[in-house]
Amino acid sequence: MKVFWDPICLLHDPPYEILSGDKVPYFESPARLQVIKKELEEHPSLFQLELTDSSSGSIDIIGNVETVHGRGYLNYLRNAYDEWVRDGGSVDAVLPNTFPHQKLVPRLSQSHVDSLSPVAKAGYYCFDLSSPITKVTYSSVIASVNVALSAARELAITSGSCRPKVGVFALCRPPGHHAGTSLSGGYCFVNNVAVAARFLQGFNQRPTDKPSVAILDVDYHHGNGTQEIFYSDPSVRYVSLHAEDDYPYFTGSTTEKGIDDGVGANINYPLPRGTQDSEYCAVLSNAVEDIKKFDPGYLLLSLGVDTFVDDPISDFKLSPSCYTHIGRVVADMGKPTLFVMEGGYHLETIGKNVRAVLQGFEEQG
Ligand code: OKP
Ligand code: ZN
């Protein structure tokens, strides 16, 4: 399996996050990527690592990102830190003071938003206190989505030739599934899996032959951003298994099924805290059935391993063997599959658990 990554993804390293009122070290650390990469490098017969370079111009990164995100939001991500520091903000990072709660403000025009002060803009474009923007954040965010795009391109090319079952892994960070069209949060800025999905739908296609895609999200947290982006889109099915009553708290219920033409294309499986292998696997097979019925041209997996029993910020109790099982079940769907890295915060085990998923996929059938 080819594995794409970029050392620029390591630069984003905020000094802290605010977690339930405490200032704590940033869980979504560069070390996460290092340990996963190291684990995969120790199995060279299974994994071939490929470096990407977001300055090479080989993919129109911004053009692809704009298929998902608003231009005003992207300009904000690029300029926020410099404007913030110029305005006297902390050199550590951009973090908001207030959020434009629906009862607090009417709909704002883009020109109004563009004229806001840096700290007000931060509140407008961000929904929590876990995605600080530092001096180097934008570089890592662009490298991260370029990793996903490069892996998607590889998948599109190799699945077009006649290999029976093909998987490619985008080893990217920062992660993406909480990022909405114009909203950062939950360690996420650009929705890597969403941008890759749109890329695959447009690759070498006449608009009339646009392939459908399914996104299976197995991260512990609900991918509110991915849900929002595709909520009215019948060509992208989003299926998520996640913890109910945990972060991001306000999304992920079974009643969220999509809107307009997209009704039925959004499927949530909230699971209780403490969920173990047997329960998880049973629900996973329902999710797999949903995707099989949809029969997508591509499958994208939002791969979080924060469902592991020892994860420091999560409350499921999955064992190591469950990750091999996830990989096998995904392989059984028989689709060209793009694995995109999301969460997982227990540094001692995330490498092994990610490897188990990918190895389970490769060795199946
Ligand atoms: C990102 B991903 C509350 C923790 C809140 C933000 C979590 C973001 C998770 N227990 N902190 O989906 O792994
Ligand atoms: Zn997560």
Each residue of 321-353: pLDDT tens digit?
Answer: 999 999 999 999 999 999 999 999 999 999 999
Please tell me the distance between residue 247's alpha carbon and the centre of ligand 2 in angstroms: 8
Q: From the CA of 28, which ligand is nearest?
A: 1
**84-101 average pLDDT score:** 95
**Do 336 and 226 share a structural domain?**
yes
**Do 177 and 33 share a structural domain?**
yes
Check if the beta carbon of residue 93 is closer than 8 Å to that of residue 132.
Answer: yes
Residue 267 lies in a domain: yes
* Residue 110: domain span: 71-125
**Do 61 and 147 share a structural domain?**
yes
Atom of ligand 1 nearest to the CA of 17: 11
In this prediction, does ipTM exceed 0.85?
yes
Residue 131 lies in a domain: no
Provide the strand spans (E) within 34-177: 48-51, 167-170
**Do 280 and 154 share a structural domain?**
yes
Atom of ligand 1 nearest to the CA of 306: 13
pLDDT tens track for 202-234:
997 777 889 999 999 999 999 999 999 999 999
pLDDT tens track for 106-145:
889 999 999 999 999 999 999 999 999 999 999 999 999 9
**Do 322 and 193 share a structural domain?**
yes
Closest by CA to 299, choosing from 161, 174, 166, 145, is: 166
Residue 266 lies in a domain: yes
Residue 133 lies in a domain: no
Does ligand 1 have an atom closer than 6 angstroms to the CB of 186?
yes
**Do 250 and 114 share a structural domain?**
no
**Do 99 and 200 share a structural domain?**
no
Check if the beta carbon of residue 93 is closer than 8 Å to that of residue 15.
Answer: yes
Residue 52 lies in a domain: yes
Residue 132 lies in a domain: no
Residue 253's pLDDT is what?
A: 98
Does ligand 1 have an atom closer than 6 angstroms to the CB of 311?
no
Q: For ligand 1, pick from 18, 130, 245, 306 the residue to mutate: most ligand atoms within 8 Å of CB.
A: 130
Residue 49 lies in a domain: yes
**261-288 average pLDDT score:** 98
**252-270 average pLDDT score:** 98
pLDDT tens track for 1-51:
999 999 999 999 999 999 999 999 999 999 999 999 999 999 999 999 999
Residue 313's Cβ-count burial label (10 Å; 0-12, 13-18, 19+) is: middle
Residue 130 lies in a domain: no
**Do 198 and 296 share a structural domain?**
yes
**Do 77 and 158 share a structural domain?**
no
Residue 272's pLDDT is what?
A: 98
**Do 113 and 29 share a structural domain?**
no
Residue 102's pLDDT is what?
A: 84
Q: For ligand 1, pick from 24, 187, 316 the residue to mutate: most ligand atoms within 8 Å of CB.
A: 187
**Do 310 and 183 share a structural domain?**
yes
| Average pLDDT value for the chain | 96
**Do 76 and 34 share a structural domain?**
no
Q: What is the CATH number of the domain that holds 42?
A: 3.40.800.20
Length of the chain as a residue count: 365
Q: How many domains does the chain have?
A: 2
